Amino acid sequence: MDPGAATRISTEWSFEPSTKTSQVGHCTNCRQSVIVVKARIVGVAGNRYLLEGRCKRCGETVPFSV
């Protein structure tokens, strides 16, 4: 993943509720796929959206993309 693309955050961005499906990310603390809660947009990379949320198991920050 290109880290430079994440710095271009659009303030015009609005997160469509329709994309709010099951948000799953890989928690490095739990070392497994976990449910992510309180997800928020942190950037855009190409046609993917970078999000960041909290691991439902341990509360650790979990980055993921949709």
7 scored as a contact of Zn ion (CB under 5 A) = no
Structure tokens, 52? 């960041």
The identity of residue 2, as a single letter, is D
Is the Cβ–Cβ distance between 25 and 49 less than 8 Å?
no
Of the listed pieces 6-14, 17-25, 44-52, 58-66, which binds Zn ion according to CB under 5 A?
A: 58-66
SS3 state of residue 63:
strand
Residues 26-45 touching Zn ion, rule: CB under 5 A, are 27, 29-30
In this structure, are residues 64 and 26 in contact, taking their beta carbons and an 8 Å threshold? Answer: yes
Smallest distance, Zn ion to C-beta of residue 28, A? 8
Give the residues lining the site for Zn ion (CB under 5 A). Answer: 27, 29-30, 55, 57-58, 60
